[in-house]
Every structure is written in C-alpha cells, then in structure tokens.
Amino acid sequence: MSRADAYHKMLMSVSHFQHNIALILEAKALEASRSSQWLCHHLSAAQFGQNHGEQVKRSVEIHDHVLDVIDGLTKMEQALAKNMQALLGEPEAPDSGSLGDMLPLGGN
C-alpha cells in the first residue's frame, strides 16, 4: 500500500468517525427534545414539594449533566482536529482567534 493510499484510508476513517459523532449528536438532540416535551406536559410544581430551591437544584443538576456531555464531545473533537493537523501537516497558528472556519472571532 502506498503512502497516498494509507493517508486516504486514514482520512476516510476520520470521515466515518465524524459522521458517527454527528449521528450521536442528532440522537442526543432528539432525546433532549422529547425529554423537554415530556417535562413540559407532565411535570408540575407538585412533584417538587413546597420548596423552590429543590426545583432549582434539580434543574442545575440536569444542566451540569448536559454541559459534561458537551465538554466531552468538544474534547474528542479537539483531539480529532489535532490528529488531522498532524496528518495533513498544516499547523494552525495558536493565537488565530477563531474556531476553525465556522466561527471566526477576528483572528488572522
């Protein structure tokens, strides 16, 4: 197998991996939407008792869980990006001030 073929296989693997991540995120979004609808229709203040603090505490716990999932996915994507940079040999400036091509934040 030539070097070009090996690179092609690696890029195809990364492409499939990214596609699977997209499917996971899509499923998570659908699950969150269904959960939101269920909560809005079936949950009332009576389930939390008399205490508003209990409601806030539970909401913060759910929010923290969602943030942990997003943080984990972000770290995984950053690791994939570093591997792609190593493979393609195109170093990115460390102070570019952007999030790739998606969200330029005034960098170079």
The model's pTM: 0.53
Domain boundaries, the chain: 3-89
pLDDT values of the chain reduced to their tens digit, one per residue, 108 residues = 888 898 888 888 888 888 888 888 888 888 888 887 887 777 776 766 667 787 788 888 888 888 888 888 888 888 888 887 887 776 655 555 555 555 555 554
Classify residue 21 as exposed, middle or buried by CB count within 10 Å of its CB (0-12, 13-18, 19+): middle
Q: Residue 104 pairs with which residues in a beta bridge?
A: 98
